[in-house]
A and B are shown apart, each in its own frame.
Chain A
Amino acid sequence: MTLERKVRLSGLYLFLGFIACIFVLPIVFMVMSSLKPDLQLLSDSSSMRAFLPVGDIGVDNYRDAFSRAPVGLFIFNSVFITATTLLLSLFLASIAAFSFVFIEWRGKAVVLAIIIATYILPFETVAVPLLLLVNNLPWLSTEGVTWGWLNSYQVQIVPWIIRALEIFLFVQYFRDLPRDLVESARVEGASWFQIYRRVVMPLSGPVIATVAILKFLEMYNNQFIWPIMVVQEEGLRPIMVGLLYFFQLNTAWGEIMAYLTIITVPVLAFYLMLQRAFIASIASTGVKG
C-alpha cells in the first residue's frame, strides 16, 4: 500500500466516522441517559456529558420502569402482534403478487390499480369508520360466534395485515424473475400453488426480507392511535401505549429513556438478523429493467 493510498484511506475512515457520529449520537444520548438519575440526566443534557456514562450511573431506571408498567407484557404483545401480522402479510401479499404477475385473469389490472391507490391513505383517515366497522364484525371463539372485535388481539392484527406497499414490492420483484421458469413448470403440469411454493418463493429471499423489515417497523413502532381506540384491557396493550405510563405530572425522564432503550432492542435485533438479506434484497427490488 502506498503512503498516498494510506493517507487517503485514513481520511475516508475519518469522514465515515464523523458521519457515523451524526447518526449514532442521539441514540447514545438515549442509552446513556437511561443510566442516570433524572436531575443529573437533565443537567447533563446541556453538555457533552450527555454522551458519556459519567456521574451517578446505575440501572435503577430500568428497575423502576419495570415496576411502573408491565414492560415485559407490552413487549410480548407488540412482538406477538407484529410477528403474526408479518407472517400473514408475507404469505398473502406474495401470493397476491404472484397472481398479479404470472396469472392472466379478468379484472386484475383494475384490482391492482385500486390496491396501489390505497397506498396514499394514511391510517388516521379511516380510524373512526374502521372502529365502527370492527365493532360489528363476527368472530368465532369457544363461546360460539361473538360480535365485535374490541379488546382483543385480532382487532390489532387483522386490519393491518395487508398494505399496498407490500404487494407493490413483491410485484416489482416478481416482474424481474425469468418467466420461462414459471412457464416450463406449468407445462410440466404443476399447479399454480405448487409453482408459487416450489419455484417462485425459493427465489424470493431478498424481497421477503425487505417486506419483513418494513412491516416489522410499521407494526412494532407505530401502533398507537388504534390500540388506544380498540383495546381497554391492560393485558393487550402494545409498547407505544405503554410509553404513556411514563408521562405523569412529573415526567420520569430517566425511566422513559430506559423504556425507549428496552423497546428498541427487539427491533434492532430483528434488523441485524435480516440485514444481509435486506441489503441484497433492495438490490433486486430497486432495479427494474
Chain B
Amino acid sequence: MASRLTQQNRAGWLMAGPAFLLIAAFLIVPFLMAIGFSFTNQRLVSPNPTEWVGTANYERLFGFAILTLDAERDGDGAVRLKDGAPVYPSLRSYTRNREGFPKYFRKRELFSFASGDDRRTFVLATDVVFLKAVRNTLFFVMIVAPLQAAAALGLALLINRKIRGINFFRTIYFMPVVISMVVVSMLWRFIYDGQNGLLNTLLGLLTFGWFEPVDWLGQTSTALPSIMAMSIWQGVGFHMIIWLSGLQTIPASLYEAAKIEGSSRWQTFRYVTWPGLRNTAILVMIIITMQAFTLYPQIAVMTGGGPLDSTQSIVFQMVERGYGRQDISGGSTISVFLFLFVLSISLLQRWLTREK
C-alpha cells in the first residue's frame, strides 16, 4: 500500500511537474516579482537605484480625501449665486497648497454632493483616472457578460436544428472569433467613423436619411457602448458554440415528453432546456467574465481611453503606466490590484453558483 502510494506520488508529480514548472517559472515567479516591484519605485528607464517605498504606490492609487465647503458669501453675508446655484471656493486653493493642506495636495474632484444648505461635500481622489478605469471595467463586465451570454444562447437556439446548410451558418457566425481583436478594432474604426462611417451610412439608408450621423467613438455617451457592441460581435460566436454543445447533450426524450404533455415553447425552454444548461451557463459566465476584465486591445486601438476617460480600462491603465509612462512600479501595483479583485469576484461567483 505504502509503496503504491509513493509510486503514485512519483508518477503524479512527474506527469504534472513539467506543466506546473512552466507556469511557475513564466507566470508565478514574474508575478511575484511584480508584487515586489509594487512596493518600490522601479522605473523602465532610469539610472537611479530602485528604492523601497512601502505602500506609497497603493496609497497613490486609492488615496482620497473628503472636503466640505461652505458657499461663498459676499460682504453682507448673502450667498453668492451664479446661474442660480451657489458659488463654492475654488478647489485649487486647497489642492495646490502643499504646506497649508497636505491632505488635499495633488488630489482631484471625483464627485461632489450637496450636504446641507449652501454646503457641498467634495470627494477628492489622487488617481481619478484609475478609479474611472475601475468603474468602466466593472460596467463593461456587467453589461457585456450577460448580454453576450444571452445573445450567444439565442444564436445557439437558432442554429440548433437539423436543416440543410446549417453548418455554413455556424461557420459564418464563428468567423469573427478567429480574427485578431486588434484587426477587428481597426476594421470597426471605419465602421464607427463619425462623418462618413459605414454604420452612419447604413442607418441613414435604413431610415431614408432621417438618421443624424453620430460620432460613435467621439462622444462620452456612445464610446464605451460602441466598444461593447463590437466586443460582443467578435466574441459571441465562441460562446454560441459552447451553448450549442450544451444544448446537444440534453436528451431528446425530454423534449418528446414535453411535447406529449403539450407544453408551450416557453415552458419547454423554462423547464427542460434551461435546467439542462446549468453547467454550461457556469462555464460560459466564468470565461466571459475573465475575458471582459482584461479589456485592452479594443481600447488601445480605438480610443486610447478617451473621450474624457470614458473608455479607460484597468488593463489599459496598467499598460499606460508601466510602458507609456515607464512607471513599472505603478503598472505592477495595478496588476496586483487586478489579480486580487478578479480573484475575489471569481470566488464570489463560485460561492453564488455552488451546488446547494
A interface, CB within 8 angstroms of B? 9, 12-13, 15-16, 19-20, 22-24, 26-27, 29-30, 45-48, 50, 92-93, 95-96, 98-100, 103-106, 108, 111, 114-115, 117-122, 124-130, 132-133, 158-164, 167, 172, 192-193, 196, 217, 220-222, 224-225, 240, 243, 256, 260, 264, 267-268, 271-272, 275, 278-289
Contact = CB atoms under 8 A, between A and B. Distances in A.
A278 B29 CA distance: 33
Interface in B12-29: 12-16, 18-20, 22-23, 25-29
Nearest to A30: B187
Q: Which of A27, A158, A160 has the most CB of B within 10 A?
A: A27
A197 to B, nearest CB: 11
Interface residues of B, number: 88
B347 to A, nearest CB: 10
A253 B27 CA distance: 37
B178 A264 contact: yes
Contacts of A289: 279
A29 to B, nearest CB: 7
Nearest to B319: A124
A11 to B, nearest CB: 12
Contacts of A106: 9
B89 interface: no
A99 B28 contact: no
A20 B18 CA distance: 43
Interface in B124-178: 155, 158-159, 163, 165, 169-178
Nearest to B18: A92
A250 to B, nearest CB: 16
B339 interface: yes
A105 B12 contact: yes
- Chain B interface, >50% SS class: helix
B81 interface: no
B254 interface: no
A162 B171 CA distance: 28
B241 A282 contact: yes
Contacts of B343: 117, 120
A86 B6 CA distance: 32
Given A105-B13, A271-B174, A243 B290 contact: no
A46 B201 contact: yes
A222 B180 contact: yes
B101 interface: no
B94 interface: no
A125 B335 contact: yes
5 contacts: A27-B175, A124-B322, A133-B25, A260-B186, A264-B179
Contact of A125 (B31, B191, B244): B31
B211 interface: no
A122 B280 contact: no
B15 A196 contact: yes
Contacts of A217: 177-178
Interface in B186-242: 186-188, 190-191, 193, 195-198, 201, 205, 233, 237, 241-242
Contacts of A95: 15-16, 18-19
B184 A92 contact: no
A84 to B, nearest CB: 14
A114 B245 contact: no
A167 B205 CA distance: 49
Contacts of B279: 286-289
Contact of A115 (B23, B195, B241): B23
A29 B190 contact: yes
Task: Identify the 4 closest CB pairs spanning chains A and B, nearest first.
Answer: A105-B12, A46-B196, A283-B245, A221-B180
Nearest to A124: B319
Contacts of B14: 99
A22 B233 contact: yes
B12 A103 contact: yes
Given A46-B198, A95-B19, A121-B27, 15 more contacts: A16-B158, A50-B190, A50-B198, A95-B18, A115-B23, A121-B31, A125-B31, A128-B34, A129-B31, A133-B33, A192-B15, A224-B182, A256-B186, A286-B280, A289-B279
B8 A125 contact: no
Given A46-B196, A268-B178, A125 B339 contact: yes
B283 interface: yes
Contact of A23 (B9, B12, B163, B175): B175
B315 A23 contact: no
B328 interface: yes
B77 to A, nearest CB: 56
Interface in B35-90: 37, 44
A114 B28 contact: yes
Contact of B33 (A26, A129, A271, A285): A129
B294 interface: yes
Given A224-B182, A264-B178, A286-B245, A23 B318 contact: no
B257 interface: no
Contacts of A46: 193, 195-198, 201
B249 interface: yes
